[in-house]
Structure 1
Amino acid sequence: MHNEVFNEAKIYSFNEGLFQASPGWDWDVFSRDEDPQHFLVELLQLRPHTEERGRAMAGRGCKAVGFKLFPEHWKGATTTVFQRLLADPRVKKIVLRRGNHLDVYASKLRADKTGAYIGKRLDQVPLEVDLAAFQGFVTHYDKVYAYYDTLLEGQGTASVLRISYDDLAAAFTDDAGMVGGAARSELGGAGGGSGGGDGGADGCCAARRIQAFLGAAAAPPKALAVTVKQTRRPLKEGIENFDDLAFAFSCTKYAGCFACYNDGDDYRGS
């Protein structure tokens, strides 16, 4: 599994050692953006070059080859490539969506300020949300997911799996704060909302649905060692102008984003 290979800053992968070990691999963000289709073909063909390396990767649970796609990755020549991938029923798409727009935006702001999504605790990072910027964000966010729905229309459950981020994160959230606040929403679709009942059970169920979808053997989900929860502060405490935002959106469909509980990732509605 690769990571954000189309990130504007770097080609991110959970298996970056493959790049160094692969003869002829000399891609950077500039050459990638000039010829994204050729880049993607070479990326997905990368394999371990030794039997020992292959066993090591298999031991880490590398059962499928893919990458993460976020709305901001759509630009220039990559747009056509992504459109073809999403419209192709032979390509398996996992649609991961976070239900609370404010959670997504706050996570993004913290990461933009610090350069970290999942590697640091960011409890003390002060946030002030610009009203117009947040309105633009939620409008774009919803449009992107509607566009994804259009591209995925008519594809069956063998091609598309929709998962709530909030349910999946529940499988990893524990007293150590694993995962929890780590994320933007990934490749989009019509999902969203959090499950009720036992969060851990919902999360394990979500993880097993992903494993079954990819044809991988069922196994307890494990968080990366570098993954920590961004913050345990409620959004009301972490956002300095929270009350002003809540008032401004009180009569909109986004009012539920501000009905927060004790944990910065919990919410009621969306």
Structure 2
Amino acid sequence: MRKAGLLLGVWARAWRSVRMASSDMAHRAPLANKVALVTASTEGIGFAIARRLAQDGAHVVVSSRKQQNVDRAVATLQREGLSVTGTVCHVGKAEDRERLVATAVKLHGAVDILVSNAAVNPFFGNLLDATEEVWDKILDINVKASALMTKAVVPEMEKQGGGSVVIVASLAAYTPFPGLGIYNVSKTALVGLTKNLATELATKNIRVNCLAPGLIKTNFSRVLWMDEAREESIKEIMHIRRIGKPEECAGIVSFLCSEDASYISGETVVVAGGAPSRL
């Protein structure tokens, strides 16, 4: 009896180990063998998202407008043992969008995930003081390019039987940031774009969701936090009174792209330290 009990104990411990290993593997790789494109992903939030998707098992193609930035990001992530490649992509150019998709298909045979993160903001001041050229540039890159980038990946996602798109907007869609009027408008438009695309692409089994970061410490948001008084005033509206980190956005995106979010589409997740968010 004692020997049988010992054997049973050994068997039970071994079985627990197998289950734990299986659970750990599933936890580590919820995006195993998925192919992901992330625009504007060589620094900041985009880079953190690319890293997290790769850590969770995806083959990631990073991109930005400058080759040296792509090379640096790819080298950094490959040194971490991650499946990451990259190519130059100015999302405002049709040929660049097409090359980004073609690169993923050539290297990995598919596209399962798109994270549309590219944005510009060349103007700081009163909205009505902006020129028509500024309006055109911000809306072209921040809004139109997201729609056209999605259009470019849909045929490849259809071949896979579906896919996931995450559009990166901003808390500014709900609570306008002072001095960033046109940028704020463009981010509000992305929330609407998300809802429209989610409706139109549902029959193709393509989910479309949105991430709305608050104040995250990146070079892109420097104008909001480089001035201590402005930073403190922004912190006053947050329940969590600090600036966020890019990594705090990345896990949300990975979740939205995974099977854990298979019944979520057309939604916007605000990651803003508890700052108010309502339209």
Measured against the shorter chain, the TM-score band is: 0.3 to 0.5
Higher helix proportion: 2
Q: Which structure carries more relative contact order (alpha carbon 8 Å, separation 6+)? A: 1
* TM-score calculated relative to the size of structure 1: 0.33
* TM-score calculated relative to the size of structure 2: 0.32
